Each structure stands twice: as C-alpha cells, then as structure tokens.
Structure 1
Amino acid sequence: MSDRGRVPGQDYGVKMIPYEDLLKHEPLREFPEIDERTPATLLFTSGTTGPPKGGYHTHRGLVLHTLSTALAVKNPPVNASQDDVAMVLVPMYHVHAWGWPWSTMLNGHRKIVYPGRFDWGHILRVIHEEGVTFSAGVPTILYNLLMHPDSPKYDLSRLKFIVGGAALPEGLLKATQARGMTVISGYGLTETAPVLTIAYLRPEHRDLPAERRNEIYLRTGINIPLVQLRVVDEQDRDVPRDGKTIGEIVVRSPWLFREYIGDPEKTRNAWRNGWFHTGDAAVWYPDGYVKIADRLKDVIKSGGEWIPSLRLEDLISTHPGVNLVAVVGVPHEKWGERPVAIIVPKPGYEGRLTENDIKNHLMQFVEKGEIPKWWIPDKVIFVKELPLTSTGKIDKKVLRDQYKDALPK
C-alpha cells in the first residue's frame, strides 16, 4: 500500500496498491500467502535534516525486529514482563509506533492501552486508571506529562519509559527520577524499523551507584540482538573505543531499508562498504555502548573544530529554570559557525532567566574540565515554544533558518 505514484524503483514481486483505491473496497476477509521478503510497509523519514526520504520494510524484517526488541526490553531496569500494563504513545506513522503494537503483544503484557488522543491531562488520567507501567516516546512526551498542571496529582513512580527519537537530556532524566520513574534511552531511525540500541543494564552495571547508572541510561545504548554496530571515521575505519573519539554510527541488521525510493544517489551514499551509514556522530565505549554526540548535519563546525549541540543541550537542561532547549550553529564571519541556544524557561522563570544565568551555569562545567570555554554559546535566546516536527522532535532546520542572522556580521 502506498501513496499514489510513490512505489519502489524496482519490481519486488508485490503489487503496490494506492491506499486511495483500497479505501473504495471492502476489507479482505483473509490474507493471501505471501513471501516473507515481500515489502510490508512504505515509510518516509521525518525530514529533520533535509527533505523526507522514502523506503520500505519487509514482513521478515518486521517480525525479526519484533522478536529482538521484545527480548531486549526484558533486561533491567525495564524488566518487561506479563505483569506490565503497556501504553502505546508513539503514533503508528512514526516508524510503526517503534514496533510497540507487536512487541507488547509478543511479550504478553497484562494489558495494552491506546489513549486515543494526545490530550496530556487525559493521558495522565488513563495512566492512573489503567495502572500503566511501561511506555515509550520522544522527550517532548515526557516533558508534557511532567509539566501538565494535573501532573502532581498522579503517582508516576511505577512508570518505566524508553526515550527515543531525540536525545534524553540529563535535566529531564533527573526530573523524572524525582517522580520515581524509571527512564532510559533508545535509538533508531526510520530506515532501521526503527530500534538499533537500548540503554539497558548489563550484569556488571547492576551494582553501580545511582549516578553511574544514570551515565548508562543517558548513553544511546548497546545494540539489540541481530544488530551489528560500529563507529567509524571518514575512511570507514573503527574509531577507538575510548568514549571520546567521535565517528559515525554504521549498522547492519535484517530489518533495514534496501533503498531510498527514487533516489539512487542517496542510496549509494548511505549503503557503503556493506554498512548502512546513519549520519549520526557518536562515541564508542570499551563495553560496546555508544552515545550520540549529534547528527552529522547538526554538529556545529567552529574554527575547524566540532561542537556537539547535544552535549550543550544536555548541560543547559540541568539548569533549574530550563524546560526545553535547542542549540544550533549560526553563521559567523570569523569562525564559520558559532552556537546559539534557544530556551523555553520553566513556569516562574519567564522574564527572570537571563543569558548570563545560562553562561554562568555552563562555566561550572568549563571549570570542571568537562567542556572547553569556547563551546559556550555566543547568544542565548528565550522563547515561549520550540518548533516541532510531526513526530514531536525539535525542528532544528526551522531554528537554523529563523536565527541565521542572530549574530552580528
């Protein structure tokens, strides 16, 4: 099933039916036997770094993805089991709701809840009434659950939540832990069905103190079963597993796109030397975990050096007056680009939070040697809201365009 006129660039032995035509007919009473490698879904990327790109996933790929993710979430601290009540908060158009409609059923959860609408007061009430213990979504969903006026009325201490679609800021993690929640990171892309990694704990991590466990949860995770993952340099050589050297994540798995529809050049650029190149810059740790530093297109290139916007966002998010933050590179005559931070203050901090407050907050991390001084943003801008994509991610394309003249020429 496809939008009219958008079909794969070659014959895969399956008839692609425009959904506009399908709506005119009665539903099928039984499905025909089909080959497992037949395309099952046709999806488009959310377009956070450029125009959306389309591709397909096969029935075989989706079954294997479901088996792998169902196994991965059984690890601590999630420990998914038949006793859990799962709530599906990711829209189906966002990469099959991350496979949740299938993996939650496969894991035999006691109940699977669909809230019906994105009304955060309603969702909080349903979490309470249905006893929801397990969910997932983008950071914006967590933010909305915590900041809704009704939120303090509800006990969220039983809720386990996997964050994906964007990085989990440290400030947001600590805000959820203050409510007793268990929150960890996951990672994937539209091209990968989507899940590639989850930041679950391995046996050697279980006795770590809370702050050290948080370091694991804030990582992008470790590859789930059937995923091969490397972090490579520009010549596709493995970078050192030192947690410092930045490279690009490349992957193999049975559930990847085989092509970008109608775009052979992007297909060749992404699938090189037998590996899919994700476009995500990351560091690789000795234990095999990775942590994304940035999208390669979002890395701020200043004076020939890289400034990872996600790291700055992570640190800024720990200021008590910050709700949401995005850091983007803005053109600079001397340095090429310089970072600019755009911040939504918390209630009670509007009009009080200043640029100096944020810069002084970051100076604490400079003095500890965690970041260099030249990473501090040249400008801090306060806004009421940040632009979001259809999948709830902060839209940095819009911000880069909106603030391209924010710095003096």
Structure 2
Amino acid sequence: MRIQETLTMYEKLNILTDAAKYDVACTSSGTSRRNDGTGMGSCEQSGICHSFSADGRCISLLKILFTNECIYDCKYCVNRRTNDVVRTSFTPDEICTLTMEFYRRNYIEGLFLSSGILKSPDYTMELIYAALYKLRTECGFQGYIHVKAIPGADSELIRRVGFLADRMSVNLELPTAESLKILAPHKTRKKILTPMRLVQNGMEENRQELALYRHAPRFVPAGQSTQMIIGATPESDYQIMQVTQSLYQKFDLKRVFFSAFVHVNEDAHLPARSDEGPPLLREHRLYQADWLLRYYHFRAEELLSEEEPNFNVLFDPKCNWALKHLEYFPVEVNQADYKTLLRVPGIGYKSASRIVKARRLGTLTYEDLKKMGVVLKRAVYFITCEGKMMYPVKFTEESIARNLLASGERLPKEVVHMGYQQLSLFDDVRFGGGLGEKGIYMQ
C-alpha cells in the first residue's frame, strides 16, 4: 500500500491517532526529568497520562503512530500490510511541530510515539531517533517522552533513542512463542526480548555511571514496559500471569499491560467474532492480579494453578484467594504485620501502612479502620479488633461468599460500559476513590 503524500498534517493526525488507540502501554510514572531553564516543558515525578499526579491531576500526552505503514502481516493488527486502509506517515519535523504546538496550547505534557515498520526496523528506528533528537535539541522540549523500541532494529539506534526518551517499551504482543508463530509469523520471541534485555542492561549501566557522575546523561529514567494481547489466543490466565511474573523478575519491567483482543480483522486463526465484544472483565482481573504481584507480595502460583487456571468472574483475585485460604483468617489488625494485612480483602497498601503507624499510639477500633480507608464491607469477614469480629459471621467459604455477593462487586463503569476507543485529549476522566491505574479497584 502506497503512503499517501497529499494528506494534510491534520488528516495525518486523525489517521495516526486513531491507529494508535489499540496500544495501551502508555501509563507511565516514576521519572523526574526537570526543566533546566533553557527549554520548554518539564516532567515531574508524579506521573504521565492515563495516570494521576499526587494532587489528582490527569496528565495527558500526545499518543500517535509515526506511520501506519507496515511490512508485517500480524493477523490481529489493523495496520497489517494486507489490510486495505489509507496509509500515511509523519516526518520528524511534523512530529516536532505537533508536539510543540499541542504543548503550547496546554493540551499535552508529553509524547507517546509508536510506529508500524516502514521499509525495515532500522529505517523506522532512524526516523524515530531523528524526530526525538530534533525535539530535544532544536525544539528544547524537556517534557515526558515514551517511545516504542522496534524489535530487530540495530542496538546502537535503540541505545541512542534511550538517552532521549523517558520510557521505552517493546510489545511482547502475545503470551507465548507458539501463539506468536501462528498470529505474527514475521516476529519471534528472540527479536522481541533482545531489545528488552538491551534496555535493561543499559539502565543498569546508567545507574552505575550516575553513581559516579551525577550529571551523566540518563538512559530510560522511567524504565520500560510491555504489552500483551489477551483473548486472541487460548492461553489461560495462569499462563499469562506466569509470563508476567517472569518478565518482572528477568527484565526489571515497570509495567506489563494487558490489552483485550479487539476483533478488527477476519482470519481463520482468530477467535470468532463475539456479540459481547472485547474480554474487558478478563483484562480487568489480570490488571488486579498484576497489582497483587507488584504491590501486595503475591506470587502467580498463589493466585492460580493448573487445576484452576482462570480467575473467578465474581470476585477479584485477592478476595478469591482469601476465600480459598480461610485457614489464615481472621487476622487481628492490632497485631498482624504489614504483609499479613496486605492479604486481607478490603485493606489496601495505603490503609495497611496507616494501620501499622496508628496502632503504635493505641488500640484500633472498627470505626478507626473505616476512617483509614479500610473497606469494611469486605474486611469484616477476615479481621478482628481486640479479638472480636464486628458481628457474628458463619466462618465458611460458602457463607462468606454469599455475603460478599450480596454486598455487590464493585467494577469501574469504564469496564462495564465502555466502547473500545482511545481517550480524547479533551476527556476529563475521573475515577472514584479506591481506583488505581486503569480504574483498578484493589483493596
């Protein structure tokens, strides 16, 4: 498909922002790139787009593809080479113009740049590097940049881009090498993991360099992430969580993102089209489990097993684990250590910290726990205060499960009702209390 050279920049923007909507790996935080007074933009430590800062602000970024032209024919991808869609591409100058003009109008505070593969991985990575280099050096942009590393690109190109970006990510695409072979035969697990390892090693070397030279250039200071498509292939939740856990352990990732499979192509190797749409509840459960791995000291094998390989649709993973392990409960909140409190449904990591600090000053009551943010309608079945439960409970899995179901499982309305679309730069997204990244309810 020939790139359309007669399109205006606005027309290109419409096409390439729409083409980027299926890439969800752009929740980012943890960087501290600051304005040194010589350029425009800054990036505070609180977070970038699809995340929330300490004062509750939603920070936005411009999320686009460099090009939707692609030499690959991944069966699940809307931009695969055999699809009859309008193809276009930005130039490095256009990327800079868009980013700076959107920033000046206060629409964005950063850039998320992904791309199809134009001609070759090296050629595409060179164009991305040229755009970022000009943006940083000539335009003086010091805001947040998240860029996708192209599998198969030269390692030196990836290294150079790493010194210009705050976060890099390489999409794992699918959970297993077997699925990749079927749905994305032009990609291999080795090609995907090689740049991931390169970024990891580069970050470690940079940390050592910064320990000696405080003003040394920073390499991917906000870390790296990846994304998996969920529901396009038959892997169980257990397999997906095992892969996720392995990625965190072996590649020091900041985040693993899960993207519910969206049926945009017709192919015999893809699941049949469903009236129910993308498996958003499954995606939601995987995010909740991912939260448990990263913040609650759980392991994948504790949450699922080969005998029970998929998450319960009625209860979140933490609550389901507690129901299956009643031998550890009830927990006395005035004595239990921090890690034990984390395993109690209704107690999040913030409220667990508050409990540990507050009980140094006196004995806690149920009213105190409520003020600390503990969700008592869940926690009451699993805790005691001064040896007493809040009210008599028949301590069996069936009885507690029935009571929990009666109280209602809280799901974000975005999961229940959302259509699959990219957030507009003008959307004002507000989640209620108790929601984390991607609206995950996890306490």
Decide: shared fold, TM above 0.5. no
* Higher CA-based Rg: 2
Q: TM-score, normalised by structure 1?
A: 0.29
Q: TM-score, normalised by structure 2?
A: 0.27
Higher helix share: 2
Higher strand share: 1
